[in-house]
Structure 1
Amino acid sequence: MEFIDRHGAGDLTMRRLGATLGVEAMALYHYFSGKDELLDGIVDQVIDDLDSDPQILASGADGWRAYLTRLAHGVRRMALTHPRMFPLIATRPSAAPWVRPPLRSVRWLENFLSSLVEFGFDAPSAASAYRSYTSFLLGHLLLEVAGAGDDDPAHPDSLDPAEFPTVVRLKDDLSDDPGDADFDAGLENLLNRLATRAPG
Protein backbone atom coordinates (compact mmCIF):
# COMPACT_ATOMS: atom_id res chain seq x y z
CA MET A 1 0.00 0.00 0.00
CA GLU A 2 2.83 2.39 0.84
CA PHE A 3 4.53 1.58 -2.47
CA ILE A 4 1.39 2.42 -4.46
CA ASP A 5 0.72 5.54 -2.40
CA ARG A 6 4.24 6.72 -3.23
CA HIS A 7 4.77 5.49 -6.81
CA GLY A 8 1.37 4.47 -8.21
CA ALA A 9 0.07 1.07 -9.19
CA GLY A 10 1.59 1.32 -12.67
CA ASP A 11 5.10 1.12 -11.20
CA LEU A 12 4.34 -1.88 -9.01
CA THR A 13 6.13 -5.07 -10.01
CA MET A 14 7.05 -8.01 -7.81
CA ARG A 15 10.70 -7.20 -8.43
CA ARG A 16 10.37 -3.54 -7.44
CA LEU A 17 8.31 -4.40 -4.39
CA GLY A 18 10.86 -7.02 -3.35
CA ALA A 19 13.66 -4.47 -3.72
CA THR A 20 11.71 -1.98 -1.60
CA LEU A 21 11.23 -4.61 1.10
CA GLY A 22 14.85 -5.77 0.87
CA VAL A 23 14.03 -9.28 -0.34
CA GLU A 24 14.16 -11.18 -3.61
CA ALA A 25 11.02 -10.99 -5.72
CA MET A 26 10.63 -14.76 -5.48
CA ALA A 27 10.15 -14.44 -1.70
CA LEU A 28 6.85 -12.65 -2.36
CA TYR A 29 5.50 -15.69 -4.20
CA HIS A 30 5.37 -17.54 -0.88
CA TYR A 31 2.47 -15.22 -0.01
CA PHE A 32 0.90 -14.34 -3.37
CA SER A 33 0.67 -16.34 -6.57
CA GLY A 34 1.34 -13.21 -8.62
CA LYS A 35 0.73 -9.51 -9.04
CA ASP A 36 -3.02 -9.90 -9.62
CA GLU A 37 -3.52 -11.69 -6.31
CA LEU A 38 -1.35 -9.08 -4.59
CA LEU A 39 -3.44 -6.23 -6.05
CA ASP A 40 -6.67 -7.94 -5.01
CA GLY A 41 -5.28 -8.30 -1.48
CA ILE A 42 -4.32 -4.62 -1.40
CA VAL A 43 -7.81 -3.54 -2.51
CA ASP A 44 -9.43 -5.85 0.05
CA GLN A 45 -7.22 -4.39 2.78
CA VAL A 46 -8.11 -0.79 1.92
CA ILE A 47 -11.83 -1.62 1.89
CA ASP A 48 -11.51 -3.56 5.16
CA ASP A 49 -9.83 -0.53 6.72
CA LEU A 50 -13.17 1.29 6.42
CA ASP A 51 -14.25 -0.85 9.38
CA SER A 52 -11.80 1.01 11.59
CA ASP A 53 -13.49 4.36 10.88
CA PRO A 54 -15.96 4.77 13.78
CA GLN A 55 -17.83 7.56 11.99
CA ILE A 56 -19.27 5.41 9.21
CA LEU A 57 -21.09 2.53 10.88
CA ALA A 58 -24.88 2.49 10.89
CA SER A 59 -25.07 1.96 14.65
CA GLY A 60 -25.60 5.32 16.24
CA ALA A 61 -26.68 7.02 13.01
CA ASP A 62 -29.81 9.12 13.35
CA GLY A 63 -31.67 7.74 10.35
CA TRP A 64 -30.76 6.57 6.88
CA ARG A 65 -29.62 10.01 5.63
CA ALA A 66 -27.12 10.33 8.47
CA TYR A 67 -25.84 6.80 7.82
CA LEU A 68 -25.35 7.37 4.07
CA THR A 69 -23.75 10.77 4.71
CA ARG A 70 -21.29 9.33 7.23
CA LEU A 71 -20.46 6.40 4.96
CA ALA A 72 -19.92 8.68 1.93
CA HIS A 73 -17.52 10.90 3.86
CA GLY A 74 -15.68 7.82 5.15
CA VAL A 75 -15.21 6.47 1.62
CA ARG A 76 -14.08 9.93 0.49
CA ARG A 77 -11.52 10.11 3.31
CA MET A 78 -10.21 6.72 2.19
CA ALA A 79 -9.98 7.87 -1.44
CA LEU A 80 -8.18 11.10 -0.54
CA THR A 81 -5.80 9.24 1.78
CA HIS A 82 -4.96 6.76 -1.01
CA PRO A 83 -5.57 8.69 -4.26
CA ARG A 84 -3.25 6.49 -6.31
CA MET A 85 -4.95 3.38 -4.95
CA PHE A 86 -8.53 4.46 -5.53
CA PRO A 87 -8.46 3.69 -9.30
CA LEU A 88 -7.57 0.10 -8.36
CA ILE A 89 -10.60 -0.04 -6.09
CA ALA A 90 -12.68 1.16 -9.04
CA THR A 91 -11.27 -1.25 -11.63
CA ARG A 92 -10.23 -4.54 -10.00
CA PRO A 93 -12.75 -7.33 -10.62
CA SER A 94 -15.33 -7.61 -7.85
CA ALA A 95 -16.49 -10.80 -6.14
CA ALA A 96 -19.61 -10.72 -8.36
CA PRO A 97 -20.91 -8.36 -11.06
CA TRP A 98 -23.58 -7.02 -8.71
CA VAL A 99 -20.99 -6.04 -6.06
CA ARG A 100 -20.04 -2.53 -7.14
CA PRO A 101 -17.05 -0.37 -6.31
CA PRO A 102 -16.21 1.46 -4.18
CA LEU A 103 -18.23 -0.61 -1.66
CA ARG A 104 -16.92 -3.65 -3.43
CA SER A 105 -16.94 -6.38 -0.79
CA VAL A 106 -19.91 -8.65 -0.09
CA ARG A 107 -19.50 -7.72 3.58
CA TRP A 108 -19.96 -4.00 2.84
CA LEU A 109 -22.86 -4.79 0.51
CA GLU A 110 -24.50 -6.71 3.37
CA ASN A 111 -23.83 -3.83 5.76
CA PHE A 112 -25.32 -1.30 3.34
CA LEU A 113 -28.44 -3.28 2.42
CA SER A 114 -29.20 -4.55 5.93
CA SER A 115 -28.78 -1.03 7.33
CA LEU A 116 -31.23 0.47 4.85
CA VAL A 117 -33.71 -2.37 5.46
CA GLU A 118 -33.43 -1.71 9.21
CA PHE A 119 -34.14 1.97 8.50
CA GLY A 120 -37.35 0.90 6.72
CA PHE A 121 -36.44 0.62 3.02
CA ASP A 122 -38.02 -2.27 1.17
CA ALA A 123 -35.69 -4.64 -0.69
CA PRO A 124 -36.03 -3.13 -4.21
CA SER A 125 -35.55 0.41 -2.87
CA ALA A 126 -32.46 -0.64 -0.88
CA ALA A 127 -30.94 -2.30 -3.97
CA SER A 128 -31.74 0.74 -6.13
CA ALA A 129 -30.22 3.04 -3.50
CA TYR A 130 -27.04 0.93 -3.53
CA ARG A 131 -26.71 1.29 -7.30
CA SER A 132 -27.30 5.06 -7.24
CA TYR A 133 -25.08 5.63 -4.22
CA THR A 134 -22.10 3.66 -5.54
CA SER A 135 -22.41 5.33 -8.96
CA PHE A 136 -22.25 8.77 -7.32
CA LEU A 137 -19.27 7.88 -5.12
CA LEU A 138 -17.35 6.18 -7.90
CA GLY A 139 -17.82 8.96 -10.44
CA HIS A 140 -17.18 11.83 -8.04
CA LEU A 141 -14.18 10.31 -6.30
CA LEU A 142 -12.47 9.09 -9.48
CA LEU A 143 -12.64 12.65 -10.78
CA GLU A 144 -11.46 14.05 -7.46
CA VAL A 145 -8.37 11.83 -7.27
CA ALA A 146 -7.56 12.06 -11.00
CA GLY A 147 -4.05 13.31 -11.49
CA ALA A 148 -3.20 13.11 -7.79
CA GLY A 149 0.53 12.78 -7.44
CA ASP A 150 1.23 13.55 -11.09
CA ASP A 151 4.53 15.37 -11.39
CA ASP A 152 3.69 17.07 -14.68
CA PRO A 153 -0.05 17.67 -15.03
CA ALA A 154 -1.37 19.31 -18.17
CA HIS A 155 -1.81 23.04 -17.64
CA PRO A 156 -3.97 25.50 -19.61
CA ASP A 157 -1.00 27.91 -19.87
CA SER A 158 0.61 25.50 -22.32
CA LEU A 159 -2.37 25.62 -24.70
CA ASP A 160 -2.58 27.76 -27.83
CA PRO A 161 -5.26 30.43 -27.20
CA ALA A 162 -5.99 30.62 -30.91
CA GLU A 163 -6.85 26.93 -31.01
CA PHE A 164 -8.56 26.62 -27.61
CA PRO A 165 -9.82 30.13 -26.78
CA THR A 166 -12.65 29.10 -24.45
CA VAL A 167 -10.53 26.68 -22.45
CA VAL A 168 -7.75 29.25 -22.01
CA ARG A 169 -10.24 31.99 -21.09
CA LEU A 170 -11.88 29.79 -18.45
CA LYS A 171 -8.65 28.31 -17.08
CA ASP A 172 -9.11 29.91 -13.65
CA ASP A 173 -12.64 28.54 -13.37
CA LEU A 174 -11.48 25.12 -14.52
CA SER A 175 -8.64 25.15 -12.00
CA ASP A 176 -10.97 26.06 -9.13
CA ASP A 177 -11.37 23.08 -6.80
CA PRO A 178 -14.73 23.25 -4.99
CA GLY A 179 -13.68 20.21 -2.92
CA ASP A 180 -15.94 19.65 0.07
CA ALA A 181 -18.72 21.94 -1.17
CA ASP A 182 -19.05 20.10 -4.49
CA PHE A 183 -19.07 16.69 -2.82
CA ASP A 184 -21.62 17.78 -0.22
CA ALA A 185 -23.90 19.32 -2.85
CA GLY A 186 -23.78 16.20 -5.01
CA LEU A 187 -24.41 13.96 -2.02
CA GLU A 188 -27.34 16.12 -0.90
CA ASN A 189 -28.88 15.91 -4.38
CA LEU A 190 -28.50 12.14 -4.33
CA LEU A 191 -30.06 11.83 -0.87
CA ASN A 192 -32.98 14.00 -1.96
CA ARG A 193 -33.58 11.63 -4.91
CA LEU A 194 -33.37 8.60 -2.61
CA ALA A 195 -35.86 10.24 -0.27
CA THR A 196 -38.58 9.67 -2.88
CA ARG A 197 -38.11 5.92 -2.32
CA ALA A 198 -37.44 6.13 1.42
CA PRO A 199 -39.84 4.97 4.12
CA GLY A 200 -42.37 7.54 5.23
Structure 2
Amino acid sequence: MSERVVPEPRRRRRRPTKQGVVLSQELIVDTALRLIGQHGADALTVRRLGATLGADPSAVYRYFHSTDDLLLAIADELIGRAQYAWEPTGDWRADLRAIGLRIHASYQAHPQAALLAAHRTTGRLHEIAAVEAILGVLRGAGFPDLEAVRIYHAFVDQSLGFAALDAAALTLPAAAQTADLQVWPASYARLDATTHPHIAATAHLLTSDMRRSGYPYALDLLLDAAEARLTALHGGDGLRGVQSTAWTSSPPT
Protein backbone atom coordinates (compact mmCIF):
# COMPACT_ATOMS: atom_id res chain seq x y z
CA MET A 1 0.00 0.00 0.00
CA SER A 2 1.25 3.49 -0.79
CA GLU A 3 0.77 6.81 0.98
CA ARG A 4 -2.53 7.68 -0.76
CA VAL A 5 -4.96 8.00 2.12
CA VAL A 6 -8.06 10.00 1.33
CA PRO A 7 -8.71 13.15 3.43
CA GLU A 8 -11.13 12.66 6.32
CA PRO A 9 -14.19 14.44 4.81
CA ARG A 10 -14.04 12.20 1.72
CA ARG A 11 -13.40 8.88 3.49
CA ARG A 12 -16.89 7.56 4.06
CA ARG A 13 -18.15 5.30 1.33
CA ARG A 14 -21.67 6.38 0.42
CA ARG A 15 -22.67 3.23 -1.46
CA PRO A 16 -22.70 -0.24 0.13
CA THR A 17 -20.18 -2.83 -1.01
CA LYS A 18 -21.22 -5.82 -3.08
CA GLN A 19 -22.07 -7.56 0.20
CA GLY A 20 -24.36 -4.72 1.27
CA VAL A 21 -22.16 -3.15 3.95
CA VAL A 22 -20.80 0.35 4.32
CA LEU A 23 -17.05 0.48 4.88
CA SER A 24 -15.59 1.97 8.04
CA GLN A 25 -12.30 1.77 9.91
CA GLU A 26 -13.94 -0.50 12.48
CA LEU A 27 -15.25 -2.91 9.85
CA ILE A 28 -11.90 -3.10 8.09
CA VAL A 29 -10.03 -3.77 11.35
CA ASP A 30 -12.54 -6.45 12.40
CA THR A 31 -12.26 -8.10 9.00
CA ALA A 32 -8.47 -7.96 9.09
CA LEU A 33 -8.46 -9.59 12.53
CA ARG A 34 -10.70 -12.36 11.26
CA LEU A 35 -8.55 -12.96 8.18
CA ILE A 36 -5.34 -13.08 10.21
CA GLY A 37 -6.95 -15.47 12.67
CA GLN A 38 -8.10 -17.80 9.90
CA HIS A 39 -5.16 -17.62 7.51
CA GLY A 40 -2.19 -16.11 9.39
CA ALA A 41 -0.13 -12.97 8.84
CA ASP A 42 0.06 -13.46 5.07
CA ALA A 43 -3.67 -12.77 4.85
CA LEU A 44 -3.11 -9.10 5.67
CA THR A 45 -3.16 -7.82 2.09
CA VAL A 46 -5.29 -5.15 0.48
CA ARG A 47 -6.41 -7.54 -2.24
CA ARG A 48 -7.65 -10.14 0.24
CA LEU A 49 -9.31 -7.51 2.42
CA GLY A 50 -11.10 -6.06 -0.57
CA ALA A 51 -12.32 -9.47 -1.69
CA THR A 52 -13.62 -10.31 1.77
CA LEU A 53 -15.33 -6.94 2.15
CA GLY A 54 -16.84 -7.15 -1.32
CA ALA A 55 -15.15 -3.87 -2.24
CA ASP A 56 -12.46 -2.71 -4.62
CA PRO A 57 -9.11 -3.03 -2.79
CA SER A 58 -8.41 0.64 -3.45
CA ALA A 59 -11.29 1.53 -1.11
CA VAL A 60 -9.09 0.56 1.85
CA TYR A 61 -6.90 3.56 1.01
CA ARG A 62 -9.74 5.79 2.13
CA TYR A 63 -9.11 4.69 5.71
CA PHE A 64 -5.46 3.59 6.03
CA HIS A 65 -2.22 4.96 4.62
CA SER A 66 -0.53 1.57 4.36
CA THR A 67 -0.57 -1.99 5.56
CA ASP A 68 1.50 -0.86 8.54
CA ASP A 69 -1.07 1.82 9.33
CA LEU A 70 -3.72 -0.91 9.39
CA LEU A 71 -1.51 -3.10 11.56
CA LEU A 72 -1.17 -0.30 14.12
CA ALA A 73 -4.96 0.04 14.14
CA ILE A 74 -5.23 -3.70 14.80
CA ALA A 75 -2.74 -3.41 17.67
CA ASP A 76 -4.72 -0.54 19.15
CA GLU A 77 -7.96 -2.48 18.80
CA LEU A 78 -6.53 -5.39 20.80
CA ILE A 79 -5.54 -2.96 23.55
CA GLY A 80 -9.02 -1.46 23.52
CA ARG A 81 -10.70 -4.85 23.75
CA ALA A 82 -8.49 -5.74 26.69
CA GLN A 83 -9.75 -2.79 28.70
CA TYR A 84 -13.40 -2.68 27.71
CA ALA A 85 -15.50 -1.69 30.75
CA TRP A 86 -12.53 -1.92 33.13
CA GLU A 87 -13.10 0.08 36.30
CA PRO A 88 -10.68 0.74 39.17
CA THR A 89 -11.48 -0.88 42.50
CA GLY A 90 -9.41 1.44 44.69
CA ASP A 91 -6.82 -1.29 45.27
CA TRP A 92 -3.82 -0.43 43.10
CA ARG A 93 -2.41 -3.94 43.12
CA ALA A 94 -5.73 -5.58 42.20
CA ASP A 95 -6.25 -3.00 39.46
CA LEU A 96 -2.84 -3.60 37.88
CA ARG A 97 -3.30 -7.35 38.07
CA ALA A 98 -6.68 -7.09 36.36
CA ILE A 99 -5.25 -4.89 33.60
CA GLY A 100 -2.33 -7.24 33.02
CA LEU A 101 -4.52 -10.33 32.80
CA ARG A 102 -6.92 -8.54 30.47
CA ILE A 103 -4.08 -7.56 28.12
CA HIS A 104 -2.72 -11.09 28.08
CA ALA A 105 -6.17 -12.60 27.48
CA SER A 106 -6.96 -10.18 24.65
CA TYR A 107 -3.84 -11.17 22.75
CA GLN A 108 -4.39 -14.87 23.43
CA ALA A 109 -7.83 -14.55 21.87
CA HIS A 110 -6.10 -13.41 18.64
CA PRO A 111 -2.72 -15.17 18.69
CA GLN A 112 -1.90 -14.69 15.02
CA ALA A 113 -2.51 -10.96 15.34
CA ALA A 114 -0.58 -10.87 18.61
CA LEU A 115 2.56 -12.04 16.83
CA LEU A 116 2.22 -9.08 14.46
CA ALA A 117 1.13 -6.45 16.96
CA ALA A 118 2.34 -7.13 20.51
CA HIS A 119 5.67 -5.35 19.97
CA ARG A 120 4.24 -2.24 18.31
CA THR A 121 3.67 1.22 19.80
CA THR A 122 0.59 2.81 18.27
CA GLY A 123 0.22 6.23 19.88
CA ARG A 124 -3.52 5.86 19.28
CA LEU A 125 -6.68 6.25 21.28
CA HIS A 126 -6.75 2.95 23.19
CA GLU A 127 -3.03 2.79 23.84
CA ILE A 128 -3.01 6.36 25.13
CA ALA A 129 -5.92 5.51 27.43
CA ALA A 130 -4.01 2.46 28.67
CA VAL A 131 -0.85 4.41 29.44
CA GLU A 132 -2.89 7.06 31.25
CA ALA A 133 -4.82 4.47 33.28
CA ILE A 134 -1.76 2.47 34.35
CA LEU A 135 0.26 5.54 35.28
CA GLY A 136 -2.78 6.88 37.13
CA VAL A 137 -2.97 3.71 39.21
CA LEU A 138 0.74 3.86 40.04
CA ARG A 139 0.89 7.57 40.82
CA GLY A 140 -2.34 7.35 42.79
CA ALA A 141 -0.84 4.54 44.86
CA GLY A 142 2.00 6.84 45.90
CA PHE A 143 4.84 5.83 43.61
CA PRO A 144 7.13 8.76 42.73
CA ASP A 145 7.01 9.64 39.05
CA LEU A 146 10.31 8.02 38.06
CA GLU A 147 9.38 4.85 39.94
CA ALA A 148 5.90 4.88 38.38
CA VAL A 149 7.36 5.13 34.88
CA ARG A 150 9.84 2.33 35.47
CA ILE A 151 7.21 0.02 36.94
CA TYR A 152 4.87 0.90 34.07
CA HIS A 153 7.63 -0.02 31.61
CA ALA A 154 8.35 -3.36 33.29
CA PHE A 155 4.64 -4.13 33.69
CA VAL A 156 3.73 -3.49 30.06
CA ASP A 157 6.79 -5.23 28.63
CA GLN A 158 6.11 -8.26 30.81
CA SER A 159 2.45 -8.39 29.76
CA LEU A 160 3.18 -8.05 26.05
CA GLY A 161 6.25 -10.29 26.18
CA PHE A 162 4.27 -13.15 27.66
CA ALA A 163 1.40 -12.38 25.28
CA ALA A 164 3.70 -12.80 22.30
CA LEU A 165 5.42 -15.90 23.73
CA ASP A 166 2.15 -17.65 24.54
CA ALA A 167 0.65 -16.57 21.22
CA ALA A 168 3.57 -18.17 19.39
CA ALA A 169 2.83 -21.45 21.15
CA LEU A 170 -0.87 -21.20 20.31
CA THR A 171 -0.15 -20.68 16.61
CA LEU A 172 1.88 -23.90 16.34
CA PRO A 173 0.18 -26.77 14.54
CA ALA A 174 -1.74 -28.97 16.96
CA ALA A 175 0.72 -31.84 16.53
CA ALA A 176 3.65 -29.58 17.41
CA GLN A 177 1.86 -28.23 20.49
CA THR A 178 1.21 -31.77 21.71
CA ALA A 179 4.78 -32.84 20.98
CA ASP A 180 6.21 -29.90 22.92
CA LEU A 181 4.09 -30.69 25.97
CA GLN A 182 5.06 -34.35 25.82
CA VAL A 183 8.74 -33.46 26.18
CA TRP A 184 8.24 -32.92 29.91
CA PRO A 185 6.85 -36.37 30.84
CA ALA A 186 8.68 -38.22 28.07
CA SER A 187 12.12 -36.68 28.55
CA TYR A 188 12.54 -34.61 31.69
CA ALA A 189 10.58 -36.98 33.93
CA ARG A 190 12.88 -39.85 32.89
CA LEU A 191 16.17 -38.19 33.76
CA ASP A 192 18.29 -40.00 36.34
CA ALA A 193 18.35 -38.45 39.80
CA THR A 194 22.05 -39.16 40.09
CA THR A 195 22.90 -36.92 37.15
CA HIS A 196 20.01 -34.43 37.33
CA PRO A 197 18.82 -34.44 40.97
CA HIS A 198 16.93 -31.14 40.82
CA ILE A 199 14.97 -31.98 37.68
CA ALA A 200 14.21 -35.48 38.99
CA ALA A 201 12.94 -34.09 42.29
CA THR A 202 10.55 -31.67 40.59
CA ALA A 203 9.70 -33.49 37.35
CA HIS A 204 6.09 -34.18 38.36
CA LEU A 205 5.62 -30.50 39.14
CA LEU A 206 7.30 -29.40 35.92
CA THR A 207 5.07 -31.72 33.90
CA SER A 208 1.98 -30.11 35.40
CA ASP A 209 3.07 -26.48 35.58
CA MET A 210 4.61 -26.19 32.11
CA ARG A 211 1.23 -26.93 30.57
CA ARG A 212 -0.01 -23.45 31.38
CA SER A 213 1.26 -19.91 30.95
CA GLY A 214 3.75 -18.63 33.48
CA TYR A 215 2.35 -15.12 33.13
CA PRO A 216 -0.04 -14.95 36.13
CA TYR A 217 2.71 -16.02 38.53
CA ALA A 218 5.27 -13.74 36.89
CA LEU A 219 2.78 -10.88 37.20
CA ASP A 220 2.36 -11.59 40.91
CA LEU A 221 6.13 -11.58 41.35
CA LEU A 222 6.36 -8.18 39.69
CA LEU A 223 3.55 -6.83 41.85
CA ASP A 224 5.21 -8.27 44.97
CA ALA A 225 8.38 -6.38 44.09
CA ALA A 226 6.45 -3.17 43.38
CA GLU A 227 4.60 -3.46 46.70
CA ALA A 228 7.86 -4.00 48.57
CA ARG A 229 9.32 -0.87 46.97
CA LEU A 230 6.23 1.14 47.83
CA THR A 231 6.38 -0.05 51.44
CA ALA A 232 10.04 0.93 51.63
CA LEU A 233 9.21 4.38 50.32
CA HIS A 234 6.17 5.12 52.47
CA GLY A 235 5.87 2.40 55.09
CA GLY A 236 2.34 1.19 55.78
CA ASP A 237 0.98 4.53 54.58
CA GLY A 238 2.20 3.73 51.08
CA LEU A 239 -0.34 0.97 50.58
CA ARG A 240 -3.29 3.29 50.18
CA GLY A 241 -5.91 2.80 47.49
CA VAL A 242 -5.79 4.47 44.12
CA GLN A 243 -8.11 7.11 42.81
CA SER A 244 -8.44 6.51 39.09
CA THR A 245 -10.86 6.99 36.25
CA ALA A 246 -12.81 4.13 34.74
CA TRP A 247 -11.65 3.19 31.28
CA THR A 248 -14.25 2.13 28.76
CA SER A 249 -13.27 1.40 25.18
CA SER A 250 -14.70 -0.57 22.31
CA PRO A 251 -16.66 -3.67 23.38
CA PRO A 252 -15.01 -6.97 22.46
CA THR A 253 -16.39 -8.85 19.49
TM-score under structure 2 length normalisation: 0.61
Task: List alignment gaps of at least 5 residues for structure 2.
Answer: 1-32, 190-205, 239-253
Q: Which string of whole-angstrom CA distances, capped at 9 and with x for unpartnered residues, describes residues 118-150 of structure 1?
A: 122111121111122122212222221113233
**CA, structure 1 residues 77+28, in 2 after alignment: closer, same or farther (shift >3 Å)?**
same
**CA, structure 1 residues 156+178, in 2 after alignment: closer, same or farther (shift >3 Å)?**
closer
Q: Contact between 1:116 and 1:126, CA under 8 Å: does it hold in 2?
A: yes
Question: How much has 1:47 moved relative to structure 2?
Answer: 1.5
Q: Contact between 1:50 and 1:74, CA under 8 Å: does it hold in 2?
A: yes
Task: List alignment gaps of at least 5 residues for structure 1.
Answer: 97-103, 159-164
One-letter identity of the residue aligned with 2:69:
E
Q: Which string of whole-angstrom CA distances, capped at 9 and with x for unpartnered residues, describes residues 13-58 of structure 1?
A: 100111111222112112222211111122122222233243xx32
Question: How much has 1:188 moved relative to structure 2?
Answer: 1.4
Partner Cα distance (1:10, 1:175) in 2: 33
Partner Cα distance (1:166, 1:52) in 2: 37
Question: How much has 1:88 moved relative to structure 2?
Answer: 2.5
Are 1:136 and 2:154 an aligned pair? no
- 1:30-179 → structure 2 map (5 Å cutoff): 30-54=62-86, 57-58=87-88, 60-61=89-90, 63-95=91-123, 105-151=127-173, 154=176, 169-170=187-188, 173=207, 176-179=210-213
For the residue of structure 1 that corresponds to 2:137, the secondary structure is helix
Q: Contact between 1:76 and 1:141, CA under 8 Å: does it hold in 2?
A: yes
CA RMSD across the alignment? 3.1
**CA, structure 1 residues 41+166, in 2 after alignment: closer, same or farther (shift >3 Å)?**
closer
Identify the structure with bigger relative contact order (alpha carbons < 8 Å, sequence gap 6+): 2
Q: Contact between 2:92 and 2:141, CA under 8 Å: does it hold in 1?
A: yes
* Structure ID, larger Rg: 2
Identity between Structure 1 and Structure 2 (%): 28
Q: Contact between 1:156 and 1:168, CA under 8 Å: does it hold in 2?
A: no
TM-score under structure 1 length normalisation: 0.76
One-letter identity of the residue aligned with 1:72:
G
